[in-house]
Amino acid sequence: MNNIILIALISFTKLLSLLPKSIFTSNNSPLWRLIGKSMKKRKKIISANINHCFSDKDKKWRENLIEKIWQDTFLALYENNYAWNAGNQIKSYKCEFKNEQIMINAQNSKKGVLLLFRHSIFLELSARLISEKFAIYGMERPNNSEVLQKIMKRGRLKAMKGLTSNSNVSQLIKWLNEGKTVLYAPDQDYKNKRSVVSRFFKQKCLTTTVPYTLKNITKCKLIYLDFYKTSNGYEFIFEDVSDIADSKQNFADEINSIIERSVTKAPEHYFWHHRRFKSQSPEIYD
């Protein structure tokens, strides 16, 4: 039965990727109204995060940002699904790379690269696009549903050379020691001992220190990958941030500051859908 469901869902995602993108650019779309109803909890989380991080902003400003994030979420569902299903058509996206020599030199040095990034609503598409230029490996939090996990892994392996669970640190160390480039997002609350309390938009949050530890173990480079959706494609920016990993606390504080700077440029495209402050301020999600 699971195989039948899997085939049906994969066929459905392929069908969605064939629909015109214009369908997904209007929040008045019947499809979005249907999908949106099943994501009410996500909108509540978005609202809690925005109100928590931007309490100094005018209420109307915050409400407008929340609605903008919600509308762009619909487009992101299409873009990310397209990334999981597209073949060579993916090359039609226009991409601009800034400071790419940093990445080229790091990979040519044969040292491992931990490619740090911030979560974006267009994350899956961005990963697919960056993989068209650079060989990358990835980590993920496996979905509780076996069927959904197979769909997600199938889609992500369109971009990744390899994929492993975010709890499989030994595999991550192996890849880095082999000189591979691995995507790693440090901007979620993993609620474990390998974290310290830092701040994000002046609010306390739990931040992972795993990249600090990995750099000490493997001597890998830490490169920050920033990306933005533009009017006609995507812009990717590379920055060597290896020097911020001189202590666990400094790494956490500095990477949050870097990500905050990135988010400020386009707050509507950050992935506000996760409970970033669930350890330090769980009450905001009630």
What is the mean pLDDT of each successive set of 10 residues along the chain, which is 286 residues long? 49 67 75 81 96 97 96 89 88 93 94 95 94 93 80 86 90 96 94 91 96 96 94 92 95 97 96 96 96
Number of domains in the chain: 1
Other C-beta atoms lying within 10 Å of the C-beta of residue 65:
18
Q: Alpha-carbon distance 271 to 76, whole Å?
A: 11
Q: Positive or negative, the Cα torsion across 83, 84, 90, 95?
A: positive
pLDDT at residue 260, rounded to an integer: 97
pLDDT at residue 142, rounded to an integer: 82
pLDDT at residue 1, rounded to an integer: 44
Q: Alpha-carbon distance 112 to 106, whole Å?
A: 8
pTM: 0.90
Cβ-count burial 163-173 (b if 16+ within 10 Å, e if not): bbebeebebbb
pLDDT at residue 148, rounded to an integer: 77
**What range does the domain containing 261 cover?**
2-285
Q: Which of 255, 163, 248 shows the shortest CA–CA distance to 214?
A: 248
Q: Which residues pair with 195 in a beta bridge?
A: 208
Q: Which of 236, 278, 214, 260 shows the shortest CA–CA distance to 123?
A: 236
Q: Is the Cβ–Cβ distance between 176 and 106 less than 8 Å?
A: no
Cβ-count burial 218-239 (b if 16+ within 10 Å, e if not): bebbbbbbbbbbeeeebebbbe
Q: Which residues pair with 208 in a beta bridge?
A: 195
Matching residue, tokens 């666990």: 248
| Residue 11: exposure state from Cβ atoms within 10 A (0-12, 13-18, ≥19) | exposed
pLDDT at residue 6, rounded to an integer: 45
pLDDT at residue 15, rounded to an integer: 62
Q: Is the Cβ–Cβ distance between 195 and 208 less than 8 Å?
A: yes
pLDDT at residue 239, rounded to an integer: 97
How many residues does this entry show for the chain?
A: 286
The two tokens of residue 173 are 């160390």
